[in-house]
Amino acid sequence: MSQNLYTLTNEKSWKSMLVHDNQLLMMNKSFKSGEDFLESFNKKGLFKEKKTIEISAIHELTHLENNATKLEVKADNKKIPLQFTTTQELADVVAYINSRQNLTPSIERQSTLKTISSPLLGLFFTALFTWVIYMDAEILEGGGQVETSGRRAGMKFLFAKIAEILGTTGTLIVGAIAFGYCIYSIVKKLQTPPNQVVYL
């Protein structure tokens, strides 16, 4: 695996990673081959983000014990999340790094905050969106007009349209269902928190 190209699915950041010369090279663009990646990586250009991680600087790896596609790499005391498309690709990269760094794996229970972070975030946005749409619905039902111009006009228009369709009662019902699902997800995750593998 001296030069393997991987597709990453990190939101708003890294799209591809190349394992090359004991380094992890990352870019915010997708490529079809390692050669294309290296050619672009070595060129200067606008709107191009890139990052190099020396494998010798990696001192910790963390991923879920089962069905893991997200790897957290800790190098020079900085954490870098890498989202792979398959569990096998993650396993290959972990094996390669570990063959160079001789890290020792151990299984730990994932922290409570990390376990419920996704549904907790969903709970926050559910409450926020429900409130915004409900306020729009109240204005519309009172015969008023919702302001949809200015910054984030598209989002304002979408919220106003949903408010028009659902009304105040429908908004509360849909919001309550979504809120209840988030609560259910939090409780379920707390009941069976996943294990994670930590390499040190």
Q: What angle do CA 87, 84, 104 make, to 5 degrees?
A: 60
Count Cβ atoms below 10 Å from residue 108 Cβ, excluding itself. Answer: 11
DSSP state of 104: P
- 117 pLDDT higher than 70: yes
Q: How much is the pLDDT for 199?
A: 87
**Whole-prediction pTM:** 0.61
Dihedral of CA 89/93/96/99: which sign?
A: negative
The 3-state DSSP class for residue 27 equals: strand
Task: Please give the Cα distance from 83 to 69 (Å, whole number).
Answer: 6
Please determine, for residue 170, whether its predicted confidence score (pLDDT) is greater than 70: yes
Residues 6+ apart with CB under 8 A from 129: 159, 175
Interval 22-75: pLDDT, tens:
888 888 888 888 888 888 888 876 667 888 889 899 899 998 888 788 888 898
Residue 44's identity, in one-letter code, is: K
pLDDT category, 7, cuts 50, 70, 90? confident
**Residue ranges of the domains in the chain?**
3-103, 114-192
- The architecture that CATH gives domain 3-103 is Roll (2.30)
